[in-house]
């Protein structure tokens, strides 16, 4: 924690903002927990409320966990447009920087962020700390140095922000992030965090779960399920997470048809050295977009290309084919003669 720098920045910030200023806090599209909590913190730091300092985004929050955060913590995010924002005395942004918005924003006064790689803007106030795992860490430091009281609601939001940007303190995490985490932990409401973390299924999805679960098997550590047509991408991901909870599950692939595509979510518990991202790239990189991290990955394959490769698109056929691909790639009981799908041109 850099107390000297942070105290100086707080002074700069207060010198810049006049009492009567109407300030808009603008977030990245589809704001994430780090952005949302940082906006709440900035508002508190400036001693303002949602009327004098509303939060804006050009597109709404969509991830189920983030929607739940917004709902449970009663965070209001208004729809931004260039014209509305023109009416504000000052524009602030957290967890994002002006070049991100292109022509959508005419000017910016306050920028607080941790993302590297942006060209410096000419905002009057800038605090970019690329070393930090989250913007919520910077904002927690501001509140601590300002001696500001952090309410349970704000602490819960910030803790969730730090946690989600650092993938539960496992990625890019620094001492500063830990310091913020330790400060926020006793102030936050852990029941609320658990609620936010537990994404909901729409009730009609129960029928889909009942149908596919009746054929769930763990074969040599592998679970493969195809849900058939789904309405939202998140359902595929949530089902993959759920399947990972079955005893003996070392690899999970859950697929679903979404629009013109076949979406495949792949998970493993992240214990070994296996890499789910590499696995889906090897399997599907040639016929779709595929990628991810060590324990979670996703492939989006146009059904037309899947069909062009001679694979059936009926739900059971897809499931069987995926099982063969996965089993072969993982070196488990593969049926002979099966090869990876290709687009007929590129081969790795
Ligand atoms: Mn962030």
- Domains recognised in the chain with CATH numbers: 3-197 (3.90.1640.10), 205-329 (3.10.310.30)
* pLDDT greater than 80 at residue 230: yes
Alpha carbon of 136 to ligand 1 centroid (Å): 7
Query: What tokens appear for 73 in the block?
Result: 């913590």
Measured in angstroms, how far is the CA atom of residue 220 from the centroid of ligand 1?
A: 38
- Across the range 279-297, mean pLDDT stands at 94
Distances (CA, A) of 81 to 87, 88, 92: 11, 12, 15
The CA 277 to ligand 1 mean position distance, Å, reads 22
Q: Average model confidence (pLDDT) for the chain?
A: 92
CA 160 – CA 141 distance, rounded (Å): 15
Cα(88) to ligand 1 centroid in Å equals 25
Task: Check whether 342 has a pLDDT greater than 60.
Answer: no
Q: How many angstroms separate the alpha carbon of residue 111 from the centre of ligand 1?
A: 13
Rounded to the nearest angstrom, the distance between the alpha carbon of 36 and the centre of ligand 1 is 10
What pLDDT does 333 receive?
41
Cα 194 to ligand 1 centroid, rounded to whole Å: 20
Dihedral of alpha carbons 61, 62, 65, 68, sign: positive
Output the CA–CA distances (angstroms, integers) from residue 163 to 32, 37, 159, 195, 200, in the order listed. Answer: 12, 11, 6, 15, 20
The DSSP code for 109 is: S
Residue 16 token pair: 């810049």
**31 C-alpha to center of ligand 1: Å?**
10
Q: How far is the CA of 3 from the centre of ligand 1 (A)?
A: 21
Contact between 276 and 294 (Cβ < 8 Å): yes
Distances in Å between the Cα of 30 and the Cα atoms of 58, 77, 135 are: 8, 10, 16
What tens digit of pLDDT does each residue of 62-120 get?
888 999 999 999 999 999 999 999 999 999 999 999 999 998 998 999 999 999 988 88
Rounded to an integer, what distance in angstroms lies between the CA atom of residue 73 and that of residue 195?
A: 11
* C-alpha neighbours within 13 Å on the C-beta side of residue 320: 9
Considering just the CA atoms, what is the radius of gyration of the chain in Å? 23
Say how many Å lie between the CA of residue 253 and the centre of ligand 1.
29
> Ligand 1 centroid to 268 CA: how many Å?
25
Supply the pLDDT for residue 274: 85
In this structure, is the dihedral angle defined by the CA atoms of residues 146, 152, 157 and 160, taken in order, positive or negative? Answer: positive
pLDDT tens digits along 109-149: 999 999 998 888 889 999 999 999 999 999 999 999 999 99
Pairing of strands 55-57, 23-27: parallel
- pLDDT tier at 335 (50, 70, 90 boundaries)? very low
């Amino acid at each position: 924690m850099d107390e000297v720098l942070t105290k100086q920045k707080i002074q700069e910030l207060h010198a810049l903002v006049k009492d009567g200023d109407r300030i808009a806090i603008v977030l990245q599209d589809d704001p994430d927990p780090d952005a949302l909590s940082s906006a709440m913190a900035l508002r508190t730091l400036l001693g303002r409320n949602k009327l004098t300092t509303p939060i804006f985004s050009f597109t709404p929050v969509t991830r189920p966990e983030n929607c739940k955060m917004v709902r449970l913590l009663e965070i209001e995010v208004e729809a931004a447009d260039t014209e509305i924002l023109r009416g504000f005395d000052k524009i602030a942004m957290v967890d994002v920087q002006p070049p991100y918005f292109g022509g959508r924003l005419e000017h910016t006064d306050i920028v607080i962020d941790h993302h590297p790689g942006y060209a410096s803007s000419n905002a009057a106030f800038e605090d970019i700390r690329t070393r930090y795992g989250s913007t919520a860490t910077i904002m927690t430091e501001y509140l601590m140095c300002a001696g500001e009281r952090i309410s349970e609601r704000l602490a819960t939001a910030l803790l969730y922000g730090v946690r989600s940007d650092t993938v539960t303190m496992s990625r890019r995490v620094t001492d500063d992030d830990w310091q913020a985490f330790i400060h926020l932990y006793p102030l936050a409401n852990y029941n609320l965090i658990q609620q936010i973390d537990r994404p909901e299924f729409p009730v009609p999805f129960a029928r889909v779960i009942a149908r596919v679960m009746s054929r769930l098997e763990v074969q040599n550590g592998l679970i493969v399920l195809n849900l058939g047509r789904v309405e939202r991408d998140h359902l595929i991901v949530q089902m993959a997470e759920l399947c990972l909870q079955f005893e003996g599950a070392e690899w999970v692939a859950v697929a679903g048809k979404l629009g013109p595509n076949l979406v495949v979510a792949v998970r493993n518990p992240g214990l070994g050295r296996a890499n789910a991202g590499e696995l889906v790239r090897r399997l599907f990189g040639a016929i779709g977009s595929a990628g991810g991290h060590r324990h979670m990955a996703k492939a989006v394959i146009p059904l037309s290309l899947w069909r062009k490769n001679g694979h059936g698109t009926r739900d059971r056929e897809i499931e069987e084919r995926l099982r063969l691909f996965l089993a072969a790639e993982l070196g488990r009981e593969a049926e002979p003669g099966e090869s990876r799908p290709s687009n007929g041109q590129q081969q790795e």
